[in-house]
């Protein structure tokens, strides 16, 4: 498996990290978890939002990595961009939970850039 493949696994696991942080507390209601999370406040509410955003970001990232690997893009480049995405997504979640909106937006943009770059490489675009 490549580094990018491990990054796919990490990206698939990130939403569970954020929602786990939101749920791990006394009084958690597993009979109605979504309703419980909607009533959360403060950093736990933001952790739930980070979880939702992580799910939204996963599908395009997975598609971009798989496209790049199927098109036999240089694996080192795919690996680098996948690592950039994972680092950006971890920082995004932490910034979300810490209520640091400008940093969150910046690292979100970095992650999106990595995904777009992977798509362009996979499409055969002449970029470095």
pLDDT at 126: 63
Which fold would CATH assign to domain 3-122?
1.20.120
Q: Report the pLDDT averaged over residues 8-31.
A: 91
Examine the pLDDT at 125 and tell me if it is beyond 90: no
Examine the pLDDT at 99 and tell me if it is beyond 80: yes
Examine the pLDDT at 53 and tell me if it is beyond 90: yes
Q: What pLDDT band is residue 26 in, cutting at 50, 70 and 90?
A: confident
CA 6/CA 93 separation, integer angstroms: 19
Which of these, 82, 58, 74, lies nearest to 5 by C-alpha position? Answer: 82
Examine the pLDDT at 128 and tell me if it is beyond 60: no
Q: Report the pLDDT averaged over residues 13-31.
A: 89
CA 64/CA 120 separation, integer angstroms: 9
Instruction: Say which residue the tokens 């969150």 belong to.
Output: 104
Q: How many residues does the chain have?
A: 128
CA 7/CA 84 separation, integer angstroms: 10
Q: What is the mean pLDDT of the chain?
A: 93
Q: Report the pLDDT averaged over residues 91-110.
A: 98
pLDDT at 31: 84
Q: What pLDDT band is residue 8 in, cutting at 50, 70 and 90?
A: very high
Q: What pLDDT band is residue 27 in, cutting at 50, 70 and 90?
A: confident
* Domain boundaries, given as residue ranges, for the chain: 3-122
């Amino acid at each position: 498996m490549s580094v990018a493949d491990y990054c796919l696994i990490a990206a698939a696991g990130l939403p569970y990290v954020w929602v786990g942080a939101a749920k791990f507390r006394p009084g958690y209601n597993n009979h109605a978890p979504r309703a419980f999370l909607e009533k959360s406040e403060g950093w736990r509410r933001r952790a739930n939002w980070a979880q939702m955003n992580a799910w939204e970001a996963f599908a395009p990232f997975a598609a971009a990595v798989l496209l790049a690997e199927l098109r036999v893009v240089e694996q080192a480049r795919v690996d680098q961009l996948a690592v950039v995405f994972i680092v950006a997504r971890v920082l995004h979640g932490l910034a979300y939970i810490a209520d640091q909106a400008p940093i969150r937006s910046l690292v979100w943009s970095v992650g999106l850039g990595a995904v777009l770059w992977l798509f362009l490489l996979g499409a055969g675009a002449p970029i470095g």
